Structure formats: C-alpha cells, structure tokens
Amino acid sequence: MTNTIKIDNKKLLDELKRITNLIEGKNIYNIESNIVLNVIDDKLHIIATNGLIWFNSTLEIENFSGSSFQVAVYFKKFYNLIREYKIDDTFISFLDNNKINITNKNNKILLLGMDAADFPTIDNKDYKINYELNYNNETIRSIKKSKSNISNDVLKPSLKYYQIENIDNDLYINATTGRTLSHEKLNGTIHEKNNLLIDPMIFDMLLCNFKKNDTGIIKIYTDIENEYIKMVLNDITIYSKIVDQKYPNIHNIIPKEYAKEFTVNTKELKKAIKQISPMIKEIQTKRIFFTVQNKELYVVSINEEIGQSQVLLSDYVDLPDFQIAFSPIYINAILKNTVESETTFLLSEGIKPSLINNIIIMPMDSEGDLIELLNFDIVINSHIEPIQAIESTIEPLERVQVFNIKSLKFINKPIENINLNSNYIKNPFIKEKIFNDRQIKNSYYFRHFRTA
C-alpha cells in the first residue's frame, strides 16, 4: 500500500534545520538518530529526541492520498537529501515495510526506515501554564545576549542553562559563566511563580527561523508532578525534563551603584582591541587595560617581555586617573552581541563587578588573575572516569567556589599527599585561599573560600 504527501520543500527544510543540533551531534547510530514522520489527516508531524528533549512540529500537507501512517528515518541522510532539492515541492511516498520514496522531478530515491513504534516517547501528562513570553525582536535580542554567558564548565552544571526567574511580578532570563552575568528583563505574562532552568538548545530550536518583526507567544508549561517542561510556539511543541539543579543566587553580586562611568563608540572599541591584541597573542595571561591619564582614555595591552600597545579611545573623559583590566575573551564576547552603536562602562571601586552594556563582568586583579563572580559547592566523584561533578546539596554550608582543575586524576590519591602547588591544579590564587576537605561516601568534597 502506498501513501503519498506533497509538501513545501522550504517549510520542510526549516523544520529539519531546527533539530540539527538535537540529533546531528550523535556519533553512534541508534533509534534516537532517527526522526519520526507521522501523517495524520492533512498534517505531517515531525518528531525528534535526544533522550532528554523531545521536539514535535506540525506542517500542512497537500494532495494526501491513503491512510495515516508513521515511519522512523535516519535524520542525517533524510535532511541531506531534502536539502539537495532546489524546487518548491517534494513528494514523499510511504511504502510497506518502513520504506519511503522521495520524488523530485525525474529523481526518485528509496530510503529505508524503521518501525516508529520503537521510537522513545514521552508520557502523556497534565500541564499547567507558567509563563507566556512575547516572541519578538526584543525577546530574541535578550536571549541571544544571554546565550553568550552560558557556561561550558563541567564543574558548574547548573550554569549550562538559562534561568527563567520571577522577581516582583517581572520576568527575567539569567545566564552566567561564573565570571560574566546577564540579567535581562523579558516581556511576558506570569501565570505561575516558578523559577525554571531551560536548556539553551530549546530556545535555539524555537528561535532558529526567526525573521525580523515576527511576532507570537512562547508558552511555557510544567506538568502537575513538576517533572517536565513543555514549550509551545505556534505549531512547535518541545518537551524537556525539568533540570534538578540549584541555580546560584546571582542577586547578591549585582552592584547597587557604580563609582565611574564612560561611554565609547562600539565600532571604534572593537577596532582598537583588534589593534592591540597582537602584543599579547603569545602570552598565557591575557589582559586588556582601560586607562585614564590626564582625562584621556586609552585601551592598552602589555607584554612585560616586549612592551605595550595602546589606542586612544577618547581625548576627554571627566574622570580621575585610573586603570582597570579585563579578559579580552569576555570583552570580545560582550561586544560580539552588542547591537548598540555605543558601549557603556559602569565601574566599581577595586576588584568588584562592573557592568558593560548591561553584562556584569569581573575585572582581573593586578597579577592577571580571573576573579569569579559566583561561589559554588561541588562534589567530585572519585570513581568515575571521566570525573563527573554535581552541585552539592549539603547543608547548611554556604555556596562556595571550586578551584579550576586541569586534571582530576589526582583525586584518587590521599588528600594529604596532594601538592596544591603542583600542575594538577591551575589556580593562581592558591596562596590566598584556605581549603577544607571531607570525604562524603565515595566522593571528595572541596571547599574553596575567597579572602578578598
């Protein structure tokens, strides 16, 4: 028996493009490397999952002949074949034994699929709405700016997510690397005061094909048991397991006031940083300085073995002489996501958080060390390779920071035999810190105090 659908090629590609990151990162072929094509009445449902996130979008189809059906096909091959077509419509015929024909003008390709009944599904649950976000230019900018502050540090698992937060009936999206922080207000409606952690991939899929001046509503639900999140935009529905992590308290590090302020042209600042960067290209500790001397503002890079490079940003700023250093990595990340023509710096006294284009960032100290904004408790399991780290729920200990670890293999050694100044630990603040340790079941717990 044959069932045939006609579908707009561009619309099909748009939906497949949304899920490339969800599936294409897989190195091993298994059931989750497939997508399910499910035809019911005059709609094609595209279903995909990586085991933690489930994607479901719906497309209108034309000239449907036959009965409802579903088949699982290998995503990478299916996507690449559809992408090769340069016409408006594609015909897909579903055959017996989980096979499909893809037809385009004189081309016909037979693609072998598999039984969709084996594809992992998510249980039907009752959901309640938490938030509605306006799907518009402003929301897209806030989410994109926040994404540059998502952490990829495995020792800080909660920081690889966005936090959707309710404060005094206002809605915010938070993201932090631990050294930079974005705290962006969102336009939307609050139905349930429930702070949630959202996987960045979910927003990537929702925003993938956003066009300027598009509008709509992103609806965010949680199920009654508080186990799953459901996000809906038009004909797209995405499910995800709720992240069971404790997000750090970011509000105690947001400055209430600043001591200095200056504004520079964003384009000129980018150009200046590019000009001074070769001077510090080969050194390990890279810093760029913003220096005011006699009312003139410079951006400077210093290589103690070679010399320095500087560019004048402004010939007059009404500020006393000062100097402050930042990591060029984080400055460039902020500027990359800046759409404003001017960049504003709000600086605190000493080594305290500053604000650059509404992104909170820690300066570097006089020794060229990076300072953490946030503190963490980390439990490192000593019997898993590679080492896995999760945030501790041990109470009543305050949230504290784990030191940066170059290699965790030393964990299998007795604590008293660890040389804290060895190459196992990359932490320039080692002499200024106090470490306590205790053994919790089969894990070592490290507590890291800041004295500054």
Q: What is the pLDDT of residues 321-330, one digit of tens each?
A: 999 999 998 8
- The predicted-structure confidence for 104-114, as pLDDT tens digits, reads as follows 776 788 888 88
Highest mean pLDDT among 203-212, 233-242, 343-352: 233-242
- The predicted-structure confidence for 373-386, as pLDDT tens digits, reads as follows 665 444 333 332 33
Q: Which residue has the higher pLDDT, 186 or 443?
A: 186
Task: Tell me: pLDDT of 92 over 90.
Answer: no
- pTM for the predicted model, two decimal places: 0.75
Q: Which residues contact 281 (CB under 8 A, 6 or more apart)?
A: none
Query: Omega of the bond prior to 396 within 30 degrees of 0, cis?
Result: yes
How buried is residue 265: exposed, middle or buried, by Cβ count under 10 Å (0-12/13-18/19+)?
middle
Task: Tell me: pLDDT of 428 over 70.
Answer: no
Q: How confident is the model at residue 346 (pLDDT cuts 50, 70, 90)?
A: very high
Tokens of 321: 């002489």
Q: What is the pLDDT of residue 351?
A: 83
Q: How confident is the model at residue 21 (pLDDT cuts 50, 70, 90)?
A: confident
Q: Which CATH architecture has domain 3-118?
A: Roll (3.10)
Q: What is the pLDDT of residue 372?
A: 67
Q: What is the pLDDT of residue 157?
A: 84
Domain boundaries, the chain: 3-118, 127-245, 255-361, 378-448
Name the percent of the chain lying above pLDDT 90. 40
CB 280 within 8 A of CB 302: yes
- The predicted-structure confidence for 379-419, as pLDDT tens digits, reads as follows 333 332 333 333 333 333 233 333 333 333 333 333 333 33
Q: What is the pLDDT of residue 445?
A: 36
Task: Tell me: pLDDT of 267 over 90.
Answer: yes
CB 44 within 8 A of CB 5: yes
Single out the residue of 225, 184, 236, 179 nearest to residue 372, CA to CA.
179
How buried is residue 321: exposed, middle or buried, by Cβ count under 10 Å (0-12/13-18/19+)?
exposed
* 357 φ/ψ sector (left φ>0, alpha ψ -120 to 50, else beta): left
Give the up-direction half-sphere exposure of residue 433: CA atoms within 13 A in the CB hemisphere.
19
In angstroms, the CA 7 to CA 17 distance is: 16
In angstroms, the CA 139 to CA 164 distance is: 13
SS3 144: helix
Q: Helix, strand, coil % (nearest 5) of the chain?
A: 20, 40, 40
Q: Which residue has the higher pLDDT, 62 or 258?
A: 258
Q: Considering the chain, what is the average pLDDT of its residues?
A: 79
How buried is residue 271: exposed, middle or buried, by Cβ count under 10 Å (0-12/13-18/19+)?
exposed
Element holding 23 (H helix, E strand): helix 20-23
Task: Tell me: pLDDT of 450 over 70.
Answer: no
Domain 255-361 falls in which CATH fold? Proliferating Cell Nuclear Antigen (3.70.10)
In angstroms, the CA 297 to CA 305 distance is: 24
**CATH of 127-245 given 1.10.630.10, 1.20.59.10, 3.10.150.10, 3.20.10.10:** 3.10.150.10
Domains 3-118 and 127-245 share a fold: yes
CB 392 within 8 A of CB 377: yes
For the ranges 15-29, 275-289, 331-345, 411-425, which has the lowest average pLDDT? Answer: 411-425
Query: Omega of the bond prior to 386 within 30 degrees of 0, cis?
Result: yes
Q: Identify the residue whose tokens are 């020792």.
A: 155
Task: Tell me: pLDDT of 319 over 70.
Answer: yes
Q: Which residues contact 224 (CB under 8 A, 6 or more apart)?
A: 125, 126, 127, 128
SS3 384: coil
Q: How confident is the model at residue 244 (pLDDT cuts 50, 70, 90)?
A: confident
SS3 per residue for 348-377:
CCCCCCEEECCEEECCECCCCCECCCCCCC
In angstroms, the CA 160 to CA 99 distance is: 39
Element holding 22 (H helix, E strand): helix 20-23
In angstroms, the CA 235 to CA 245 distance is: 30
Task: Tell me: pLDDT of 435 over 80.
Answer: no
Task: Tell me: pLDDT of 286 over 60.
Answer: yes
Phi and psi torsions of 448, nearest 5°: -120, 115
Q: What is the pLDDT of residue 194?
A: 87
Q: Which residue has the higher pLDDT, 314 or 212?
A: 314
Q: Which residues contact 280 (CB under 8 A, 6 or more apart)?
A: 286, 287, 288, 301, 302, 303, 328
* Residue 139: alpha-carbon gap to chain centroid: 15
Single out the residue of 396, 394, 389, 386 nearest to residue 440, CA to CA.
394
Q: What is the pLDDT of residue 64?
A: 74
Task: Tell me: pLDDT of 299 over 50.
Answer: yes
Using only C-alpha atoms, the chain has a radius of gyration, in whole angstroms, of 26
Task: Tell me: pLDDT of 201 over 70.
Answer: yes
Cα-Cα-Cα-Cα dihedral sign, residues 270, 275, 281, 284:
negative
In angstroms, the CA 202 to CA 49 distance is: 11
Q: Which residue has the higher pLDDT, 382 or 319?
A: 319
